[in-house]
Amino acid sequence: MRERNAMTSRHVENRDKFWLEEAGRLHWFKEPMVASDVSWDAEDFHIRWYEDGVLNASYQCLDRHLETRGEKTAILWEGDDPSVSEAITYREAHEEVCRMANVLKARGVGKGDRVILYMPMTPEAAYAMLACARIGAVHSVVFGGFSPEALASRIEDCGAVAVITADEARRGGKTVPLKENVDRAIERAGKAGDAVHLVLTVRVTGAKVGFEDGRDLWWHTSRDDVTKECPSEPMAAEDPLFILYTSGSTGKPKGVVHTTGGYMVYASYTHEKIFEVAEDDVYWCTADVGWITGHSYIVYGPLANGVTTLMFEGVPTYPDASRMWEVVDKHKVAQIYTAPTAIRALMREGDGPVKKTSRASLKLLGTVGEPINPEAWRWYHEVVGEGRCPIVDTWWQTETGGVLITPLPSDPMTKPGAATKPMPGIMPALVDNDGNPLDGAAEGNLILTESWPGQARGVWGDQERFIQTYFSTYPGRYFTGDGARRDEGGDYWITGRVDDVLNVSGHRMGTAEIESALVAHPSVAEAAVVGYPHDIKGQGVHCYVILNQGTEPTDALAKTLRGHVREEIGPVATPDRVQLAPGLPKTRSGKIMRRILRKIAEGHPDQLGDTSTLAEPQVVDALIDGAKQFE
């Protein structure tokens, strides 16, 4: 608490000074003299941090440590197969990254070019990110659980010139055909696919894959054709570092853009203060590099700080429910950072699989991605951490670059389920639906009133959409899309999204995206998708589907539609329920009343409220009746 208070007062005293001092944690080729220049007014919109500074993120994560930590493990890789692991030193990682950067360069990839990464959780995923950063190319990692269709639309949207992938990914004893998906995506992307002139493939399983001469290269052979030295490109602080696609409440996913200087300062700052990793600690974040958590807290934050970061190829329940704790013992992990959905899934297996491990090395436990229910918090604290490890429940978003609201390890751990207080330097507030500020203990919409270095700078190719999405609901302020409650002690409790975005197992999903996948099926006339509480996943996906005239509503068709969404978006979006319905509850002006659909899916048909404005009230009874199949 003391450190938090001291930092917060430093920020209050002089904000520019505070953030310039934090910038001093990085190695700059040219130190910045200005902290920020920000306007969230639509008329004159700009966000700039450290704009006169020059640096390189890859240099920051590798070269800068060579003298003092060259032989220290940078990446501790644990394979899907429990008998396989590998320690990679900072020096070795530096060499691999330089080689990969040189392969990219040799194929004409350079500063400002976009490169899609579609990777398994192997060290090469980190090398690929850092190799792009090294030469100033902008990476966009696409989670390996997305379909070729989703991959194609991202290749197209960002205008990628290269893709880095693997033959196959291994996960939980199964394989995912990454290279085959890339080939399909490039074909699907048409002209945009033709612009991809390099597919660099890492050999992981040795599966036989297609190979297009002139375009495709194997990493394990091409790495020997280049030298192990590659200078890092001096980048302006506001040059883009990466694009990461995320779902919103409308339309297709947005390519959120993060730039170099502010993002790196913020990732390093938050990683240091939240996780308190000592020089000899092994730190483990279980996220996938396909999400922002993997960017900021597997790769950029920890490596910028010279930490040993554990990278895990597998899943928490393979080969069995003890795996996570066995990995903790095997590598003497000190900090573990995971998602509530994983904790709930493991909790369900009982204490046995945990108790048979030691976990003596653990010092701190973290969670991220969704609200953690107090029961799961307590199990994590008492059973996993044996009551001696603080829990940091970190609230943030793809757009925020790093954690904004979280307990710090030295805070008293008295509020299970509360994200508690803002990081020093962060200014959250609550407003009502009209944008009026709410003071003291209150519940409302969560906004930020001031910029911070890690904030996203835009939406790739559509700055208007960026301003519209985040800065127009409450003009001049950043709207998170989340609701929150602030208690008497000033602690924040995140209550979840207040827009049409779902959070399924910590993965963000737009209902509009799933709806458009459904209506793309020839049998579907209309669809509405809502979330409902799910014991393990946090939220489940409930789809109401209206079929075309004359189409028989059968169980087989419902099943086909689930598979269809999976094909279109990817396994992460697979609907839990498909309800074939005769109609949707609409107002006389034709607007779907989602509130009613949510209540029915939640199993509260008694709480529908006023339905008198509906065009066809009788449709509601049919929907309630139809939902009974899921009880």
Number of residues that bind ligand WT7 (CB under 6 A): 23
371 counts as binding ligand WT7 under rule CB under 6 A: yes
Q: How far is the CB of 414 from ligand WT7 (least distance, A)?
A: 17
192 binds ligand WT7 per the rule CB under 6 A: no
Separation CA 148–CA 184 (nearest Å): 6
User: Are 186 and 155 spatial neighbours (Cβ–Cβ below 8 Å)?
Assistant: yes
Neighbours of 280 (CB within 10 A): 9
Q: Is 371 annotated as a binding residue?
A: yes
Other beta carbons within 10 Å of 125:
29
| Nearest distance in Å: CB 561, ligand WT7 | 25
Is 368 a binding residue for ligand WT7 by CB under 6 A? The answer is yes
Q: Is 229 exposed, middle or buried (0-12, 13-18, 19+ CB in 10 A)?
A: exposed
Containing H/E element for 495?
A: strand 492-497
DSSP letter for 395, please: B
Task: Say whether residue 428 binds ligand WT7 (CB under 6 A).
Answer: no
Cβ proximity to ligand WT7: between 100 and 142 the closer is 142
Token pair 């006169």 in the structure block, residue = 52
Is 291 known to sit in a ligand binding site? no
| Of 153, 246, 308, 338, the one binding ligand WT7 by CB under 6 A | 246
Is residue 213 helix, strand or coil?
coil
Q: Which two tokens stand for residue 394?
A: 């970190």
By C-alpha distance, which of 481, 480, 537, 469 is closest to 507? 537
Q: Does 293 bind ligand WT7 (CB under 6 A)?
A: yes
Considering beta carbons, is residue 536 or 624 the nearer one to ligand WT7? Answer: 536
Strand partners, 29: none
497 binds ligand WT7 (CB under 6 A): yes
CB 196 within 8 A of CB 217: no
* Residue 554 labeled ligand binder: no
171 is in an annotated binding site: yes
By CB under 6 A, residue 478 contacts ligand WT7: no
Sign of CA dihedral 338, 340, 346, 351: positive
CB of 525 to ligand WT7, least distance (A): 31
Asked if residues 149 and 568 have their Cβ atoms less than 8 Å apart, the reply is yes
Q: Figure out which of the listed residues 398, 420, 469, 505 binds ligand WT7, where binding follows CB under 6 A.
A: 398
Are β-strands 216-218 and 198-202 bridged in parallel, bridged antiparallel, or unpaired? parallel
Smallest gap, in angstroms, from Cβ of residue 177 to ligand WT7? 25
φ, ψ (nearest 5 deg) of residue 509: -140, 130
Options 481, 510, 531, 540; binder of ligand WT7; rule CB under 6 A = 481
Angle formed by the axes of helices 618-627 and 594-601, to 10°?
Answer: 30
Stretch of residues binding ligand WT7 (CB under 6 A), selected from 82-90, 130-138, 176-184, 480-488: 480-488
SS3 percent helix, strand, coil of the chain, rounded to 5, is: 35, 25, 40
Piece of the chain touching ligand WT7 by CB under 6 A; list 111-119, 274-282, 285-293, 468-476: 285-293
CA–CA distance, 267 with 431 (Å, rounded to integer): 28
Nearer residue to ligand WT7 within complex by CB, 73 or 293: 293
Q: Least distance in Å: CB of 553 to ligand WT7?
A: 34
For 7-55, list the strands marked E by DSSP. 36-39, 46-49, 54-55
Per-position x/- string for 313-352, each x denoting binding to ligand WT7 as judged by CB under 6 A, each - no binding? ----------------------------------------
Short-list 454, 475, 473, 472, CA closest to 463: 472
508 interacts with ligand WT7 by CB under 6 A: yes
Nearer to ligand WT7, 27 or 485 (CB): 485
369 marked as part of a ligand binding site: yes
Candidate residues 369, 407, 458, 540; the one interacting with ligand WT7 per rule CB under 6 A:
369
Q: Is 396 in the site for ligand WT7 (CB under 6 A)?
A: yes
The residues near 262 (Cβ < 8 Å, ≥ 6 apart) are 49, 50, 237, 238, 401, 452, 453, 454, 455
Decide if residue 161 touches ligand WT7 (CB under 6 A).
no
Which two tokens mark 10?
């430093």
Ligand-binding annotation for 505, yes or no, is yes
**Choice from 126, 204, 494, 620 touching ligand WT7 (CB under 6 A):** 494
222 binds ligand WT7 (CB under 6 A): no
Sequence ranges of the binding site for ATP? 369-371, 393-398, 482, 497, 508
Give contact residues for ligand WT7 (rule: CB under 6 A).
246, 291-293, 368-371, 393-398, 419, 480-482, 494, 496-497, 503, 508
Sequence ranges of the binding site? 171-174, 293, 369-371, 393-398, 482, 497, 505, 508, 519, 521, 524, 566
